[in-house]
Structure 1
Amino acid sequence: MAQSAASGRRSAPVLPETPYRYDDGNLPRHFTQPDGPESIASADNTPDDNPTTDAGATLGRVLFYDTRLSANDSVSCGTCHQQAHGFSDPRRYSVGFDGQTTRRHSMSLTNARYYTRGRFFWDERAETLESQVLAPVQDPVEMGMTLDGLGTKLGQVDYYPRLFDQAFGSPAITADRVARALAQFVRALVSYQSPYDRARAAGPPGSAAFTAALPELPRLGHRLFVGVPGEGVRAVGCARCHVSDAQISLSPRNIGLARLGPDGDDDQGAGDGRFKAPSLRNVAVRTPYMHDGRFNTLREVIEHYNTKVEANPFLDLTLMNRRLAVTGGPVRPVRLELTAREINALIAFLESLTDDTFLADPRFSDPFM
């Protein structure tokens, strides 16, 4: 098989004789319970007209890693969404097909399937995952293709008609099918085998089985994370925004970030400085952080929430001093007053969300390497 000596990439994907399985057969119960406030399954944004299939996700995987989706065959989706980094980019800003950089940090795709609202990008401008996956392909900085040009280009590649036929019942290559296949692959990127998951599968938090399975420091971090301040226990309440065992937000929020640069950061996200937050799964390997990659470590992120949240008229209520907010006083950010041990505990809990199996799973790897 032809292989580029410079890049080490093959000209055609190497796929297993028996297709990989992308179904939910191995998901633990805390991912599949159908209802309740902590239900992950009820947040699934998979549309009825695009269920994930083995053949569809296989095609999506090939498309995801194929540099032919860019104008000069230099960039793929996987260039900026790297498996080893939780399908994010270790660079602050990603580099497009002609060397220009993006305006925002590349958002992780891990557990994107469980974002209830089903909208994508930091500002939620894409109404569905199916519409989101085509936007970078057409972006003049990222990949620089037109959809008509994409269909023509892929139609000239000998392995695509067979893959499209297996996924959709005919070899026709259309932008809609490209979008559906890519969305199926992205929704298959479910991370559920971290140390925290093993403890959670052993028993509910607080149970003897959970306690035995998760060390003391990340357990303390978990209690701080999920506890509600003001209920008689020491807690931070991160789970008010990063909900369920997918640790994923329900909507964009203004978290009081300082404005950057001499003129201040004018990126208002979804409006009023609100940005979506991805799932925290594998967050420890996804540095840098935030929509603009301003923080380089988890400690910096926690220090922001601890002491550096800035007041503004649109600050999320969860980050306000509630006593002042209720009495109509000035908008003042809450100060968490975390101890050094509590900060370390929160970091340890976030590190316990690292899923080494997911980060090396061949089903999600680059088939051209």
Structure 2
Amino acid sequence: MKKTHLYIFIIGLLPLLSCSGSGSDGDDVYTPVPASLSIPQLFGQKLIAPVIPTDNPLTEEGIALGKKLFFDKRLSGDNTQSCASCHKPANAFTDDTQFSDGIDGLFGTRNSMPLFNLAWNFNERFAWDGKELGLERQALEPVKNPIEMHSNWTTVSNKLQQDSEYPTLFQQAFGTSTIDSTLITKAIAQFERTLISGNSKFDRYLLGNAQLTPQELNGFNVFMDEDRGDCFHCHGSDNNPLWTDNDFHNNGLDTTFSDLGLGAVTGDPNDNGKFRSPSLRNLAFTAPYMHDGRFATLEEVINHYSEGLKVSPTIDPLMKKVNQGGVQLTPQDKADLKAFLLTLTDHEFVNNPAFQN
């Protein structure tokens, strides 16, 4: 072969070499498409950008795979429950019962937490008691929990490996068709990071695109007033559209604790009875309330802070009026506070087709 012909042959071969190859397990290389979060305008103005783990970057393929896994009942021991069974899109990705039942009909002692705006949880502690360090790790526990999905990751991985679609989907998302718990939870975490809620009436009001009623405006003032509601220290403000500080507090629910909360995780008695402050977004969808779902209505929640606070050794200093039982709101302020809280409802979020099965 002449040198000229050989040169042309090699040049023609280069595109083929650059577009194909084999991964670590011998499969063809596929480059996933990078994806980014859809950041609401208000979040861009008020919050720093989320930090995405370098070992789990967002891709279109990873997010799509995570969504499929989130709704797949084969993650449970008897193929009857998925992540979405206890984190329902219509309920802002929580449950509408006090305690979700597992596949064996057993109940825990915690209310299912709603899932949205998780990408801005910068302390990286998840669950009511902060026991899960990182969103990827958080997804590991429910599958093997005997009162939840009651399976094990070897069984789940094997079930998905036998599926006609999943090996290819994992190959496209992660460059390998070998399925394991690490890649499953990475995909689920990618999907969960896209669950962003930022289009409530109050969001639109802050952007100049909606008006509040006098009752709603007074309710916001009650929320922000240290002598009335005094809610903003733990639950955000017009400058913190997450409507939570993502921290842990003893908010005066009990005098003694059957559930130690953060204290059981850290082993520090000073943390006993402390639980995560949940976001106040989407309260219209997330009843019942508190870590144990003890309050069925928003009225009960407001009454607790108004006249139901209980003294305990670890009561949060922010509960400044605990010795008076609470902030002692008037009936009108209670009604107005509820009206304001409902302006944090994001109907677009619970109806977003990107988040539905």
- Would you say 1:181 and 2:187 are equivalent positions? yes
Return the match for 1:89 from 90, 95, 100. Answer: 95
- Tell me the distance in 2 between the aligned counterparts of 1:287 and 1:83: 14
Matched residue, 2:134: 128
TM-score by length of 1: 0.80
- Tell me the distance in 2 between the aligned counterparts of 1:55 and 1:270: 36
Matched residue, 2:253: 257
- Which one is further off, 241-250 or 176-185? 241-250
Gaps of 5+ in 2: 1-31, 264-271
- Are the aligned partners of 1:20 and 1:54 in contact in 2 as well (CA < 8 Å)? yes
**Structure 1 residue 116, shift from structure 2 partner:** 2.3
**Structure 1 residue 333, shift from structure 2 partner:** 5.4
User: Aligned in 2, Cα 1:45/1:91: closer, same or farther, shift over 3 Å?
Assistant: farther
What per-residue deviation string (whole Å, max 9, x for no partner) do you get for residues 94-115 of structure 1? 0101111122111111222222
What per-residue deviation string (whole Å, max 9, x for no partner) do you get for residues 219-242 of structure 1? 222222234x26xxxx42211111
Matched residue, 1:31: 43
- Would you say 1:77 and 2:83 are equivalent positions? yes
% identity of equivalent residues = 38
User: Aligned in 2, Cα 1:78/1:20: closer, same or farther, shift over 3 Å?
Assistant: farther
- Are the aligned partners of 1:164 and 1:173 in contact in 2 as well (CA < 8 Å)? yes
- Counterpart AA for 2:235: H
- Counterpart AA for 1:257: L
Matched residue, 2:29: none
- Tell me the distance in 1 between the aligned counterparts of 2:207 and 2:173: 33
Q: Map 1:1-369; keep pairs closer than 5 Å.
A: 23-25=36-38, 27-33=39-45, 39-42=46-49, 44=50, 46-202=52-208, 213-227=211-225, 229=226, 235-243=228-236, 244-258=240-254, 265-271=257-263, 272-321=272-321, 332=323, 335-366=326-357
- Tell me the distance in 2 between the aligned counterparts of 1:62 and 1:56: 10
**Structure 1 residue 157, shift from structure 2 partner:** 1.0
Say which SS state the counterpart of residue 319 (structure 1) adopts: coil
- Counterpart AA for 2:289: Y
**Structure 1 residue 20, shift from structure 2 partner:** 12
- Tell me the distance in 1 between the aligned counterparts of 2:196 and 2:34: 13
- Tell me the distance in 2 between the aligned counterparts of 1:89 and 1:360: 16
What per-residue deviation string (whole Å, max 9, x for no partner) do you get for residues 267-297 of structure 1? 0100110001222211121110111110000
Ranked by relative contact order (alpha carbons within 8 Å, sequence separation 6 or more), the top structure is: 1
User: Aligned in 2, Cα 1:248/1:171: closer, same or farther, shift over 3 Å?
Assistant: same
TM-score by length of 2: 0.83
Larger radius of gyration: 2
User: Aligned in 2, Cα 1:95/1:21: closer, same or farther, shift over 3 Å?
Assistant: farther
Gaps of 5+ in 1: 1-18, 34-38, 203-208, 322-330
Say which SS state the counterpart of residue 318 (structure 1) adopts: coil
**Structure 1 residue 165, shift from structure 2 partner:** 2.0
- Tell me the distance in 2 between the aligned counterparts of 1:49 and 1:303: 45
- Tell me the distance in 1 between the aligned counterparts of 2:230 and 2:173: 43
User: Aligned in 2, Cα 1:45/1:315: closer, same or farther, shift over 3 Å?
Assistant: farther
- Are the aligned partners of 1:81 and 1:88 in contact in 2 as well (CA < 8 Å)? yes
User: Aligned in 2, Cα 1:50/1:278: closer, same or farther, shift over 3 Å?
Assistant: farther
- Counterpart AA for 1:219: L
What per-residue deviation string (whole Å, max 9, x for no partner) do you get for residues 294-349 of structure 1? 0000110010001001011110011024xxxxxxxxx7256312112211111111
- Tell me the distance in 1 between the aligned counterparts of 2:336 and 2:54: 41
- Are the aligned partners of 2:308 and 2:325 in contact in 1 as well (CA < 8 Å)? no
- Are the aligned partners of 2:254 and 2:312 in contact in 1 as well (CA < 8 Å)? no
**Structure 1 residue 45, shift from structure 2 partner:** 5.3
- Tell me the distance in 1 between the aligned counterparts of 2:147 and 2:306: 36
- Tell me the distance in 1 between the aligned counterparts of 2:325 and 2:310: 10
- Tell me the distance in 1 between the aligned counterparts of 2:345 and 2:139: 25
- Tell me the distance in 2 between the aligned counterparts of 1:116 and 1:303: 31
**Structure 1 residue 251, shift from structure 2 partner:** 1.3
- Tell me the distance in 2 between the aligned counterparts of 1:160 and 1:20: 18
- Are the aligned partners of 1:284 and 1:354 in contact in 2 as well (CA < 8 Å)? yes
- Are the aligned partners of 2:234 and 2:244 in contact in 1 as well (CA < 8 Å)? yes
- Tell me the distance in 1 between the aligned counterparts of 2:146 and 2:51: 28
- Are the aligned partners of 2:128 and 2:276 in contact in 1 as well (CA < 8 Å)? yes
| Deviant stretches of 4+, over 4 Å | 19-22
- Counterpart AA for 2:85: T
Say which SS state the counterpart of residue 302 (structure 2) adopts: helix
